[in-house]
Amino acid sequence: MRAALTGAALVALYTALIAAADGITKLIAGSYAAPQFLAVSSALVLLFALGAARRQGALRTALGVQSRGTMALRSLLTVLAAIGFFQAFRLLPFADVFLFIGLMPLIAAALSGVALDEPVRPAAWLALALGASGLLALVPEGRAGGNAGHVWALLGAVSGTASMVAARAIARRERKPLAQVFWPNLALALVMGVALPFVWQPMPLADWLWVAGYALFLFGARFVSVEALRLLPAYVATPLMNLQFVWMVGIGVFGFGELPGVGAILGAALVIGSGLWLVADEALPARRRLRL
């Protein structure tokens, strides 16, 4: 129970951090090409990770991993997810992108059974369905058809979920949260750095500060998510990550004066309820086993 509640609290913190990072992405994405934004921000995240690793002692101890193959796969998936979501935020409204983010628990449930041998219980499937219905209510009006933005968003959702599943696979073998932040961001910085000379545009000081803020929020979010995925199965953690809808409503109200409609409030309640259901479903069987 304690592990489940701690994991849920970490996921709630993650959603606040990642929502802030997504808001900055939406603000900056229209001004710069993806390689420039992602190369600069990932380089800053690397500096944060190196600084934190130095405080822990030897860099090799903090950043070294035994699951090198899984880490390489996670790094590749992180690169694909970053590109997919960056392009999606450029081309789609927030509601459309978050609809794809809302599919991530279902993708995680499908992948966890195969990759992690974590079969989803029937009650958890019902909770996932409840959360998915809440996501539909969050979209104020249906948007039929698809475009390139939806393809990018789908790429981001699938690869991002797979990256989280890989993170849990690594965390079950070794506790190296800083390494799980460092290596995927190193891959992102190297890949984006290749294209950087061809797309670079001068950045005013204000934009440098926005990118630095994004990198700080992203570093915190990824560090926290690794710890959360160590404590919770991926299919439990990802529905809780949909709490970022609530944070985005807050950002809209206080930052842009956008009042949420009834559908948004109802959808957020369903998403939160499904996440709490999954946490309880994960914790209660453990308590029953302890009593036997």
pLDDT-derived band of residue 204, with 50, 70 and 90 as boundaries? very high
* Residue 263: predicted pLDDT: 65
Q: What is the pLDDT of residues 229-255, one digit of tens each?
A: 777 776 667 666 777 777 766 766 776
pLDDT in tens, 1-30: 676 678 778 888 888 888 888 778 877 877
Task: Tell me which DSSP letter residue 42 carries.
Answer: H
For residue range 92-143, list pLDDT tens digits in order: 776 667 667 777 777 777 777 667 676 667 777 777 777 677 666 655 454 4
CA 184 centroid distance within chain: 13
Q: For 22-59, how does the pLDDT look when each residue is reduced to its tens digit (9 = 90+)?
A: 778 877 877 888 889 889 999 998 888 888 877 766 67
Measured distance CA(170)–CA(255) in Å, rounded: 38
Find the helix or strand (DSSP H, E) in which 280 lies.
helix 262-291
Q: What local confidence, expressed as pLDDT, does residue 94 receive?
A: 67
Q: Single out the residue of 175, 230, 191, 176 nearest to residue 59, CA to CA.
A: 176
* CA distance readout (Å), 87 to 22, 51, 207: 12, 30, 19
CA–CA gap between residue 181 and residue 179 (Å, rounded): 5
Residue 14, CB-side half-sphere exposure with 13 Å CA sphere? 22
What CA–CA distance (Å, rounded) separates 185 from 183?
5
pLDDT of residue 162: 92
